[in-house]
Amino acid sequence: MAELSGKDRLSAAFKKPGFVAYTVAGDPSVSESVLISKALIDGGCDVLELGVPFSDPVADGSVIQAADKRALDAGITTDGVFGVVKEIRKYSGVPIVFLVYLNIVFRRGFDRFYDEAKEAGVDGILIVDMPPEEAETALLASERTGIAQIFLVTQTTSDERLDMIVKMASGFIYLVSSLGVTGKRDDVSKEAFSLLKCVKAKTKIPVAVGFGVSEKRHAEEIIKEGADGVIVGSAIVSVIEKNLGNCEKICSELKNYVKSMKDAIISKN
């Protein structure tokens, strides 16, 4: 039987509403980030999203910016990030997605980055600051390697650009629930649900909602409104920040948190 591509593996992860757990590779250290990733998997995440640390993560709020800095200060490199994936792959076959900034991919070279990502076991790549109009090189690498090319859509995405994105995207579409940078929010905006309905009407590709999602009630509402998945980042990274120096407590809290979020998603399925 032929091996499934990253695109197929990600699509399969959303056959039922899925939970995407985000953490920064190498935060607070390489070894601890592997243990944290395993805890997220043990909690039941359907997709593991790894942030590739960057010195100027403009789309991210203060919590994830601090995580990027911790990882970089601890000595993480792009090679090191691929090493983290390889360690996780020894433990689990859960789909893994990169959230990465364009500069990192460009400096390494698209073909090399995607080839190394595939070798390590990455299923999808979201280049957060890459305009879809400039995605041709990435799409060629995605098609050649079978890695899903994931795109963001926001409330400011024009109809023309949205039509372009749904034709290009694979794996899943990342719907940004609120304007601005990543970070916890009190509520999911109603505009996000209007956008969700618009995107779902244009494509059969799974749509997962992130940015500002942190509580069970957020997850329940998002799934109730028709999303295929929920993405949580800052709430997870906050647990790491709050318990620095106590990896055992970090892992225990995160495992329980993911389980509770998964239970909320399942309850609305």
**Beta-bridge mates of residue 141:** none
Tell me what the mean pLDDT of segment 207-226 comes to: 92
Dihedral angle over CA of 78, 81, 86, 91, nearest 10: 180
Which entry of 27, 46, 60, 123 is annotated as an active-site residue? 60
253 alpha carbon, distance to own chain's centre: 20
119 among known catalytic residues: no
CA distance 222 to 229: 8
Name the CATH code of domain 18-146+214-267 (choices 1.10.10.60, 3.40.50.720, 3.20.20.70, 3.40.47.10): 3.20.20.70
Which entry of 46, 49, 228, 253 is annotated as an active-site residue? 49
68 among known catalytic residues: no
Q: Tens of pLDDT along 18-37? A: 999 999 999 999 999 999 99
CA distance 213 to 230: 8
Structural domain boundaries in the chain:
18-146+214-267
pLDDT reading at 180 higher than 70? no
Local confidence band at 190 (pLDDT 50, 70, 90 cut-offs) = confident
Q: What is the pLDDT of residue 179?
A: 61
Q: Tens of pLDDT along 3-16? A: 789 999 999 999 99
Q: Tens of pLDDT along 60-116? A: 888 999 999 999 999 999 999 999 999 999 999 999 999 999 999 999 999 999 999
Which amino acid is it at 211?
Answer: F
State the Cα angle at 51 between 107 and 14, rounded to 5°.
120
- List strand residue ranges (DSSP E) for the chain, in order: 18-24, 47-51, 96-100, 124-127, 148-150, 152-153, 173-176, 207-210, 229-232
Whole-model pTM: value is 0.95
Local confidence band at 1 (pLDDT 50, 70, 90 cut-offs) = very low
